[in-house]
Chain A
Amino acid sequence: MKYTPHTEADIAAMLSFLEKSSLDDLFADIPCDAICNKEMNLPPSLSEMEVRRRCEELAGKNVRHRSSFLGAGAYRHFIPSAVKTITSRSEFYTAYTPYQGEASQGTLQAIFEFQSFICLLTGMDVANASLYDGSTAVAEAATLAMSETRRKKLIVSKSLHPEYREVLSTYLGTGGKAEVLPLPYRDGAVDLESLKSLVDKDTAAVIVQNPNFFGVMEPLQDIAAIAKGVGALSILVIAEPYSLGILKAPGNLGVDIAVGECQSFGIPQSFGGPYLGFMAAQGRYMRRIPGRLCGKTVDRDGQEGFVLTLQAREQHIRRDKASSNICSNEALCALAATVHLSLMGRKGLREVAEQNIRKAHYALEKISAVNGFSRKFSSPFFNEFVIQCPHDASKLTAMLDEQGIAAGLHLGRFYPDLSNCLLFCVTEMTTREEIDRLTAVLSGLSAAVRV
């Protein structure tokens, strides 16, 4: 399939205008003998129907499980069909970055509304237009805290998503730029006594996740207070923002910066990307936050409009003095989240959150009633929980896979001390039948495995 419109006649006319005899003449600048590619080993062109066929073939080699209990930073939530209707409008998805505001009021207002939704959810005064994802948002927040406090110690909860911690570590790199102190958990939640002993005047930030990787609800207000006591910033990471349907806004609990992931709002699991990072902060950090910011303004006639603003923080103006190098972010995903949140609205956010916590508690009750399976942590949880299994948890997940069930994540993958534990996620998409079927299968397997 070709997307170039040039006919032989077009090319001839244009070459004639340029007084060149062939297309190759245009590349005369290039020392071709030395560097031009002799042979490209690429397949021949395909027609559109063949492209469709090939992609369907590849998609067909993947398994869409009949039921899934996987969460761990990627969530299966209901997405109203109207979200796709809007994000597939090509006036949105084939638009460019809104640098020319007059030609981009649609995109800009949508960004402003996204920023507003994030502020409403987190109780913060400022939110940016998006970051790549939750993990890189953590790294950006840590950088902000270190530059704001001029300190180098970061206290990072071990119940923060392991891959988010890996990314933070990669960004901090080697060379003594920062010191990361792991904060242990007790009964699945941050150990406050450990935290008190770890913070000191060199602490730039305390970084925790809520609900954390285990689904457990952390004592946020206490954590924020302990950080504040030594002049450190409290950074809250939210991987499952539907939890804000029933949890208090972190901005009202003394938290300085909230970052995380909005994939739960209108974005399918997508094999891990593209997702949607966000950053929100108390007003005093406004000029330090990375990423694009959309602000309200007026035009020459006094009419309301929107424009990218405070661009002096960004790479295209400040270059090596910029607060971050971020350029392209996740604008279309932010649009999806904005439309999603508009549809779900005040009542929907609450109702989804309540269904999640209730179904998760039902599932916990049923699973922990199966012989050999028990609840690992007694701490309160939202829509994910950890189950201690009788034997080899990874064998168990393989057996469940055969039954068309994607089991909870095997925690041994990240936590050696939890090698026989599974992290189950239950959302409003999980039916009672699925939970009951899971329980029945587990009973059967438990009998077989325990030999």
Chain B
Amino acid sequence: MLIFEKSSPGRTGYSLPELDVPDIPLADMMPGDMIDQEGKHLPEVSELEVIRHYTKLSQKNFSVDTHFYPLGSCTMKYNPKINEEVAALPGFTDLHPYQSEGSIQGALELLYSLEQFFCELTGMDRFTLQPAAGAHGELTALLMAKAYFNHKKEKRSIILVPDSAHGTNPASAAMVGFTVVQVKSNEKGNVDLADLERLLTPDVACLMMTNPNTLGLFEVDILRISSMVHEKGSLLYYDGANLNATLGKVRPGDMGFDMMHINPHKTFSTPHGGGGPGAGPVGARGELVKFLPTPLVNHDESKKLYSLHFDEPLSIGRMKAFYGNFLVLVKAFAYIISLGKEGLLDVAHLSVLNANYLMKALSKSFHLPYDRTCMHEFVLSIRDWKDKGIRALDVAKRLLDYGFHAPTVYFPLIVEEAVMVEPTETESKETLDDFVQALICIREEILNEPEVVHDAPHKMPVKRLDDVVAARKPVLHWESEEL
């Protein structure tokens, strides 16, 4: 039942102080024909009904706090609770973005420190913390690339992306008006250098990639790729989604990347929220720094003052009103200072250990398209059971019955019936072993009673949902029967 269906005229769930100024009629303050006499038909429910309604809804969800989420490319690591607590401090939540600079020194210091940490971890020179999500960060960097080449009076209209790239890469490029061309992957799962050589014309603005790539494999030729790209005067962009694998150990700047984005809601433990809010800080090196969106946060050592810096004539402008998803950034800051140097170094080591452990444990029962050491994630293929009518999607749904959120399925596109697994470093060996056991059981089911897998899930609040009917006859909001 929807909250609207629980409404009863006259019920209220709020309170306000009495009006303490004259009760002037609305028509004395505004034109009568602008007044909505009837009012909006919002529901009328009590606080208890609201609490009960949404609490029960929450109980229908899987979440990191209740379930293992081995989602490749998402880095569903544990979200520390101290982060939630500090992000709720009134000294942060109650700040208006237009308060005087003298009254926001703590906030500016936090943003400045966070930027310093990001630069140290990635080898970039400066970061903008303004973008609201990874895709927003990609868009920012591509707008910067466009501005950079315009400034140099060079016409470059192509963006190269590997065929294994995340969908936001080509989508972002298209939004800026670039043409997207795909670079093939070789049989080892890396960027095909011959294909890259062929495609690297003077018309290429940028190669967008991630390292490790979306197959969880390190691009071993990265230094060669970097020189190939830079020789042609193009730029190299790092999609930060897989930063967890090499955090602090190998810096994108040292691999030759010119610009990058970070996903704090992946690498830096800020919660996914069911689909945001995240953030998409963008880092740049050398020449590109002056194209970053404004404002940046600057620090005057002598006066010990932090300030918002707007005066950058070559800046692309502004990507969002105000300064960024500040409270999300507070959580990333808390995470970094909490882990510190030792803890941050552990992230890469243990996320890669967990992934390799899982991969080897599963390799006996499932097809591994790339048989080499993986980094923080790996890809399986479920193509072997097509004759039984079983696809990756069915395995994903059956895993729900075993109490695990499914891994990422059907991505990257270059693997048939792909299942991408990323355990992250915060999961224990016991959890990984349980996950392996569940998959082995499912494999048995596929061989002996495939309908159980085909018709899964069986134990969730709903059974398999019908996507087709949802798209054919879209019902996208509640409508009152009274109308």
**A174 lies within 8 A of B150 (CB):** yes
Task: Give chain B nearest CB distance to A51 CB in angstroms.
Answer: 5
Contact partner of A167 among B180, B277, B321, CB < 8 A?
Answer: B321
Is B2 among interface residues, defined by CB-CB distance under 8 A? yes
In residues 128-158 of chain B, which contact A (Cβ within 8 Å)?
132-136, 138-139, 143, 146-147, 150
**B343 lies within 8 A of A127 (CB):** no
Contact partner of B320 among A36, A61, A133, A327, CB < 8 A?
Answer: A133
Task: Give chain B nearest CB distance to A364 CB in angstroms.
Answer: 10
**B265 lies within 8 A of A295 (CB):** no
Task: Give chain B nearest CB distance to A368 CB in angstroms.
Answer: 15
**A98 lies within 8 A of B275 (CB):** yes
**B321 lies within 8 A of A164 (CB):** yes
**A89 lies within 8 A of B58 (CB):** yes
Contact partner of A328 among B19, B265, B460, CB < 8 A?
Answer: B265
- B79 — nearest CB in chain A belongs to which residue? A94
Is B318 among interface residues, defined by CB-CB distance under 8 A? yes
Task: Give chain B nearest CB distance to A210 CB in angstroms.
Answer: 10
- A312 — nearest CB in chain B belongs to which residue? B471
Task: Give chain B nearest CB distance to A255 CB in angstroms.
Answer: 14
**B470 lies within 8 A of A104 (CB):** no
Is A431 among interface residues, defined by CB-CB distance under 8 A? yes
Stretch at the interface among A199-207, A228-236, A355-363: A355-363
**How long is the Cα–Cα vector from A27 to B167 in the complex, in angstroms?**
28
**How long is the Cα–Cα vector from A46 to B342 in the complex, in angstroms?**
10
- Beyond A62-B105, A93-B79, is A35–B254 a contact (Cβ under 8 Å)? yes
Residues of chain A lying within 8 A (CB to CB) of residue B397: 100, 102
What's the tally of chain B residues with a CB closer than 8 Å to chain A? Answer: 200
Contact digits for A23-62, partner B, Cβ 8 Å, 1 yes 0 no: 1001111111011110011111110100110111111111
**B249 lies within 8 A of A109 (CB):** no
Contact digits for A112-129, partner B, Cβ 8 Å, 1 yes 0 no: 110111111100011101
**A319 lies within 8 A of B170 (CB):** yes
In residues 60-97 of chain B, which contact A (Cβ within 8 Å)?
60-67, 69, 71, 74, 76-80, 82, 84-86, 88-97
Stretch at the interface among A2-10, A150-158, A370-378, A440-448: A2-10
**A309 lies within 8 A of B470 (CB):** yes
Stretch at the interface among B193-201, B330-338, B378-386, B441-449: B330-338
**A27 lies within 8 A of B249 (CB):** yes
- B327 — nearest CB in chain A belongs to which residue? A270
Residues of chain A lying within 8 A (CB to CB) of residue B223: 31, 34-35
**A286 lies within 8 A of B476 (CB):** yes
**How long is the Cα–Cα vector from A136 to B167 in the complex, in angstroms?**
20
**A167 lies within 8 A of B465 (CB):** no
Is B39 among interface residues, defined by CB-CB distance under 8 A? yes
**A92 lies within 8 A of B22 (CB):** no
- Beyond A315-B167, A357-B26, is A309–B271 a contact (Cβ under 8 Å)? no
Task: Give chain A nearest CB distance to B411 CB in angstroms.
Answer: 8
Task: Give chain B nearest CB distance to A376 CB in angstroms.
Answer: 17
- Beyond A37-B248, A44-B340, is A18–B357 a contact (Cβ under 8 Å)? yes
Interface contacts beyond A29-B372, A109-B60: sample of 14 additional A-B pairs, CB < 8 Å, sorted by A: A2-B343, A3-B426, A23-B350, A74-B98, A91-B61, A117-B42, A130-B276, A174-B147, A249-B40, A270-B326, A317-B167, A339-B54, A345-B12, A348-B42
